[in-house]
Chain A
Amino acid sequence: MSSASLDARSNLAWFLTGMRGITSLPALILMTSFVGFSAFALESGITRDQAVFMTLAVWALPAKMILIGSMAGGAPLAACFLAVTLSSIRMMPMVASIMPDMKSERSPTWLLLFLSHFVAITSWVFAIQHLENVPRERRTAYFGGFAITLTLVNAVIVGVCYGIVAQFPPLVSGALFMMTPVYFFASIWSSARHSVVRLAFVVGVVMGPAMALVDPEFDIVYAGLGGGTLAYLLDRFVIRRVGRRALSRPASPEDVP
């Protein structure tokens, strides 16, 4: 029999505990970003229903921005798919890195596949920060409580705020638009666990706009694939090598017993 403490709090109780994360600061910041998104969708010619459907179907904010950008530019379906899927490759390591913490021996694969849909930057950071404090058998319920609620609440926000935002004064809509990049700058930097991520962060910030001036059609590919590879090579052959040398220095002959 599994331990009695496991049954002390049910999956439902942990799901509800996860739901309470909706009032956490990152969740509230994300909600204001989605108010900004509803304005962006309106300005780009996306209808209210399409914006809500997109929030539920895609969820990740950068992918939605890129999808709308491609659609508004009149790009064909294959080009839209390519632009969005290239920007979403990061989903794979994001999901993969939290899976060992989230699953238990009894978690069915279909449940993990379903829950992975609700992984985006905010819920990923939430998982890294909170999962270790939850009993392993209850982690899927806890994560689902937070991430599913976050998605549904933001879908409602997009539906309600669509159209309202167009009436905001320019000062407010400008501030709301700026919320998204500011939030990503801070949250992605603070969740970085490796030197290569911080290096790629800086390279991406510089190369994104620079490549947009050189070749607006493939700027993201150059900045992502090229810049990311550059950051990886710099990290592997310069930064980590120097770091290793610095680490190995104390191990001079007199320190060795």
Chain B
Amino acid sequence: MMENGWWVYVVIIVAGWLATDMWRWLGVLVGNRLDEDSEALQWVRAVATALVMAVTSKLVFFPTGTLADSPLWLRLGALGIGFLAFLLAGQRVIVCVVVSISLLIAGLALL
């Protein structure tokens, strides 16, 4: 699949580096002109957030590697309870991470 060493670097440069940095560069150029409260920016924010969360959510629903064999309810339960604890604890990121990962480890160990 990826035997062709130099071709992989071409893919990383074109489909990785250029594909991400062109948006960053565009962000610098429009950063000064884009009105923070414009409707266009609100829409772009919505699309961006939905894109990122769709990707993130798929990691939980369809994981690769060792988690692929774990039950879906365990992954969703660990994340859901951790996120609830995070909301109750004044949105502290560490609370979500510690609670979710602890529950996941406990579940994996017991099953």
* Chain A interface residues (CB < 8 Å from chain B): 25-26, 29, 39-40, 43-47, 50, 53-54, 57-60, 62-67, 70-72, 74, 77, 80-81, 83-100, 103, 109, 112-113, 116-117, 119, 170-171, 173-175, 177-190, 192, 194, 196-197, 199-209, 211-212, 219-220, 223-225, 227-229, 231-232, 235-236
* Chain B interface residues (CB < 8 Å from chain A): 1-2, 5, 8-28, 30-32, 34, 36, 39, 41-67, 70, 75, 78-79, 82-83, 86, 91-97, 100-101, 104-105, 108-109
- Is the pair B51, A87 in contact by a Cβ cutoff of 8 Å? yes
CB-CB under 8 A from B45, the residues of chain A are 90, 93, 194, 196-197, 200
Chain B proximity of A63: nearest CB distance (Å): 5
- Is the pair A207, B54 in contact by a Cβ cutoff of 8 Å? yes
Q: In the complex, what distance in Å separates the CA atom of A72 from the CA atom of B63?
A: 15
Specify which of A116, A196, A223 is in contact with B25 (CB 8 Å cutoff). A116
- Is the pair B55, A87 in contact by a Cβ cutoff of 8 Å? yes
CB-CB under 8 A from A92, the residues of chain B are 23-24, 26-27, 30, 44, 48
CB-CB under 8 A from A227, the residues of chain B are 50, 54
- Is the pair B44, A178 in contact by a Cβ cutoff of 8 Å? no
CB-CB under 8 A from B61, the residues of chain A are 208-209, 212
A186-B86 contact, Cβ under 8 Å, with A43-B65, A50-B8, A204-B52 = yes
A57-B12 contact, Cβ under 8 Å, with A229-B43, A231-B50 = yes
A205-B64 contact, Cβ under 8 Å, with A119-B24, A182-B101 = no
Q: In the complex, what distance in Å separates the CA atom of A203 from the CA atom of B22?
A: 26
Specify which of B28, B52, B92 is in contact with A113 (CB 8 Å cutoff). B28
Chain B proximity of A237: nearest CB distance (Å): 12
- Is the pair A58, B16 in contact by a Cβ cutoff of 8 Å? yes
Specify which of B11, B44, B59, B62 is in contact with A65 (CB 8 Å cutoff). B59
- Is the pair B12, A186 in contact by a Cβ cutoff of 8 Å? no
Given A116-B24, A188-B56: 4 more A-B contacts, CB < 8 Å? A116-B28, A186-B96, A201-B50, A208-B56
Specify which of A50, A112, A200 is in contact with B49 (CB 8 Å cutoff). A200
- What are 8 residue pairs bridging A and B, where the CB atoms are less than 8 Å apart in the complex? A45-B1, A90-B52, A95-B23, A173-B65, A174-B67, A178-B63, A183-B93, A185-B83
Chain A proximity of B20: nearest CB distance (Å): 4
- Is the pair A228, B26 in contact by a Cβ cutoff of 8 Å? no
Closest to B96 in A: A186
Closest to A207 in B: B54
Q: In the complex, what distance in Å separates the CA atom of A44 from the CA atom of B13?
A: 18
CB-CB under 8 A from A64, the residues of chain B are 16
Chain A proximity of B57: nearest CB distance (Å): 4
- Is the pair B65, A88 in contact by a Cβ cutoff of 8 Å? no
CB-CB under 8 A from A50, the residues of chain B are 2, 8-9, 12
A200-B28 contact, Cβ under 8 Å, with A91-B23, A187-B93, A229-B43 = no
A117-B21 contact, Cβ under 8 Å, with A95-B27, A196-B46 = yes
CB-CB under 8 A from A86, the residues of chain B are 51
Q: In the complex, what distance in Å separates the CA atom of A124 from the CA atom of B97?
A: 19
Chain A proximity of B88: nearest CB distance (Å): 13
- Is the pair A67, B101 in contact by a Cβ cutoff of 8 Å? no
CB-CB under 8 A from B2, the residues of chain A are 45-47, 50, 71
Chain B proximity of A212: nearest CB distance (Å): 6
A88-B101 contact, Cβ under 8 Å, with A99-B31, A181-B79 = no
